[in-house]
Structure 1
């Protein structure tokens, strides 16, 4: 199978292709188009030419297109889940959950398309503002470049495409090279739903090359990127006056206070740490447990992790499968070995087989080790002890990242203390930091990024506020 580019409402054959392999068994899935400079230019041109039509399209029509896409996804959700599972090595039950979330994201986008609005401004609140009627409206920015990662190849695409189209923008979408088929599938759905040609273009190939071309093109008004801090920083520094939103990952932490029901909490933390092999931006990487319950917590936690089944992502019972590349497996092994050499206690895992890194639990890890202070993006978690809530909060904040954090506690004062002092974009009280529903604001501070996703909040990022003032006493 050869997958061409999607530009201007039609497929375009490129001059070259690259092989796409299943991360689990390394089977060749397809040959994927490799976009050249002219292809990128033409994709931006198509989006630019479609921009006036999208900007003038009535809100209800944009909403209906998004509703249709949600419907197509619902009709073909099993096929879509299997597509995700093959190209991302995501366990099938997790892929199915992603498709269900993607359906909801497009439904939320449809709802938001119908309620984009401004507000009246009381001009006479200031001297000189008498006899004036003023109000604001929100207008689309124009062409938006969206760059998406491999780990949620349908839903994170939806979090950029959905709000952009809801607001009347057009897009050039660059999906991750490992998971392009999901993005092309979504483009087919939008074409079938009646989206104007050129409103959504999908280009694949070298991320750095395509990214540079998108940053240089003045017709692009915004870049929305999910990926690594290094690339995000580069985009921010080289995009001129373009609007930029960045979601750059984390090393998310959870605090476990004394007195909680471990039987209820531990299974949730295991899910938060090991879902999709830990390749989730808000995956739990650091667990800080009160010293009075630490030993009990560790034993119960390890017993729960041992229940996870590793294997083929298309197996209905698989919990853990291959990491996205064999190189990531090697990097993970190096970081774990370094931590053990530095004094960490390896209690479970620490090895791999056929691209699957076994669920790994480290205890009492020096916080200067990479497995603690960097984003490991792997099925590895460390458990450390703390004495006071003040210390626990300081341990969580001792990070260059700040996406989401969680705390389990029966003490309302501890919960509110954490909510106020944790330096993150979202605090989950009595929930794992890996929790996300698709209408909530989502984004981070520090090296975790800037701007917010969540459909309503992304629409605000993707529109321009205009003031209109009318003097009534001429």
Structure 2
């Protein structure tokens, strides 16, 4: 892997005016020098993308699909290299990194299929008086330049959820990868080039969000902005973007309800996975667990015991479960939130300590509902566990949140499952599994401060297109 990475604009590597060191979060080792795009670079990338779009929009669907399928094949061939790159720059365990690459390959394959499945619909014009002898239908058309701002936690797959649908729709795209994980994004330059994507359709400009966001959200050529990140930044982007099409995925503090009658032994492993996979740095990681009082003590005992067995180690060790969180800043914030919760009478059942750059997986009980670990998105290895008496109590507590991305309920009762699914205020309700469950073709997006719009390849592609209605008058 090269040590110095430039900007990818117009199908060529461009020298940046400045470079910054990128460090491994687990070891603090310098791993690369990353070119830092400036405002003028962003404008250049957008202008190049606009020029490329004028030609690329004429590419037939089968040609776009062929490119995306080739990308998937190349990534599959290079899967171990890509997984190691994730582990290196994000400290994600190598097992989790391999899972991400497997999903990324699938995401690009879904995008290839979606490129060939762009259907409109026929409108029954004669359903209305005055609609006789008229034929109406809709088509979906590409829109132009899409700008994408992506997070660190899935540096290949969440990029694929923006790049894949944009190209499937016939758009061009300017990608700003996360500052903590730019290498995974930059590697796509090589992969898409080899797959035959025309120059300028994909541009990759790492850099600081506050430097690049104005150009990426307000330039006249930009027709769609898609962002995954914090609520605070999402609100800024929404204000800047104006009437442009917009998708914002802004996180969560996902609740998981464990109803009476559930076999606790059968769900402990899955619940621990949903709470601490990639150190809880997943938008739909379980943050709040509600357990029926009849099961609470048994669940807490088993859950804490299994959490204590999680292996802390290097991302490159095959048996590692827990690694360093993404940055020292993040580590300090999470530890401060835990300490504040304890001052507000929360009890640490396990974890809560720092080992190097690692926060040990933390289980809290008796958490005040105004504590930050309850109220906001922790984005770290912390979970709060509460008993409940009635299902309505659990649902109401779960809904007491500014967020609404995914929720989950485990129950043996079909009636109670439907009851909860209708009342939980989230974009997705996962029944009889953890809210961390996601496959890459399902609609994915939130209510409330969790954002606007939907991802999931087909759904993202629709949001990257314009719908046009066409009517023909037939005869006199």
TM above 0.5, yes or no, is yes
**What's the C-alpha RMSD, in Å, of the aligned pairs?**
0.8
> Where do residues 375-414 of structure 1 align in structure 2 (5 Å cutoff)?
375-414=377-416
TM-score scaled by structure 2? 0.99
Aligned counterparts of 2:40 and 2:443: Cα–Cα separation in 1: 37
SS in 1 for 2:189: helix
Aligned counterparts of 1:206 and 1:144: Cα–Cα separation in 2: 18
- Which of 195, 220, 223 is the matching residue for 1:221? 223
Encode CA deviations 1:410-461: one digit per residue, 9 max, x unaligned. 1112111110000000001110000000000000000000100000101111
Q: CA deviation at 1:187?
A: 2.1
Confirm or deny that 1:270 pairs with 2:307: no
Worse overlay, 427-436 or 31-40: 31-40
1:237 maps to: 239
Aligned counterparts of 1:305 and 1:362: Cα–Cα separation in 2: 12
- Which of 435, 453, 460 is the matching residue for 1:451? 453
Aligned counterparts of 1:421 and 1:471: Cα–Cα separation in 2: 46
Aligned counterparts of 1:163 and 1:213: Cα–Cα separation in 2: 22
1:252 maps to: 254
Confirm or deny that 1:41 pairs with 2:43: yes
Aligned counterparts of 1:416 and 1:381: Cα–Cα separation in 2: 26
Worse overlay, 295-304 or 206-215: 206-215
SS in 2 for 1:285: strand
Encode CA deviations 1:202-259: one digit per residue, 9 max, x unaligned. 0011111101121220110010000000000111112121111100000001001121
Confirm or deny that 1:78 pairs with 2:119: no
Aligned counterparts of 2:19 and 2:313: Cα–Cα separation in 1: 30
Task: Assess if the C-alpha contact under 8 Å between 1:364 and 1:385 holds in 2.
Answer: no
SS in 2 for 1:322: coil
Encode CA deviations 1:68-104: one digit per residue, 9 max, x unaligned. 0000011000000000000000000000000000000
- Which of 160, 181, 184 is the matching residue for 1:182? 184
SS in 2 for 1:427: strand
- Which of 150, 153, 156 is the matching residue for 1:151? 153
Q: CA deviation at 1:407?
A: 0.6
Confirm or deny that 1:111 pairs with 2:74: no
1:344 maps to: 346
Confirm or deny that 1:417 pairs with 2:437: no
2:174 maps to: 172
Aligned counterparts of 1:388 and 1:455: Cα–Cα separation in 2: 38
Aligned counterparts of 1:368 and 1:154: Cα–Cα separation in 2: 35
Aligned counterparts of 2:105 and 2:223: Cα–Cα separation in 1: 27
Aligned counterparts of 1:404 and 1:216: Cα–Cα separation in 2: 30
Task: Assess if the C-alpha contact under 8 Å between 1:119 and 1:136 holds in 2.
Answer: yes
TM-score scaled by structure 1? 0.99
2:322 maps to: 320
1:194 maps to: 196
Q: CA deviation at 1:121?
A: 1.3
Aligned counterparts of 2:153 and 2:15: Cα–Cα separation in 1: 27
Aligned counterparts of 1:298 and 1:115: Cα–Cα separation in 2: 47
SS in 1 for 2:174: strand
Encode CA deviations 1:2-44: one digit per residue, 9 max, x unaligned. 1000000010011110110000001111100111122111100
- Which ranges in structure 1 are unaligned for 5 or more consecutive residues? none
Confirm or deny that 1:330 pairs with 2:326: no
2:34 maps to: 32
Confirm or deny that 1:311 pairs with 2:284: no
1:132 maps to: 134
1:280 maps to: 282
Aligned counterparts of 2:413 and 2:122: Cα–Cα separation in 1: 43
- Which ranges in structure 2 are unaligned for 5 or more consecutive residues? none
Aligned counterparts of 2:449 and 2:267: Cα–Cα separation in 1: 29
Q: CA deviation at 1:345?
A: 1.0
Aligned counterparts of 2:185 and 2:274: Cα–Cα separation in 1: 26
Encode CA deviations 1:304-342: one digit per residue, 9 max, x unaligned. 111210111011111110000011111111111111111
Q: CA deviation at 1:274?
A: 0.1
2:71 maps to: 69
Aligned counterparts of 1:37 and 1:388: Cα–Cα separation in 2: 54
Aligned counterparts of 1:469 and 1:52: Cα–Cα separation in 2: 26
Aligned counterparts of 1:399 and 1:69: Cα–Cα separation in 2: 39
SS in 1 for 2:173: strand
2:24 maps to: 22
2:375 maps to: 373
Runs of 4+ aligned structure 1 residues displaced above 2 Å come to none
Aligned counterparts of 1:16 and 1:8: Cα–Cα separation in 2: 19
Aligned counterparts of 2:320 and 2:430: Cα–Cα separation in 1: 28
2:90 maps to: 88
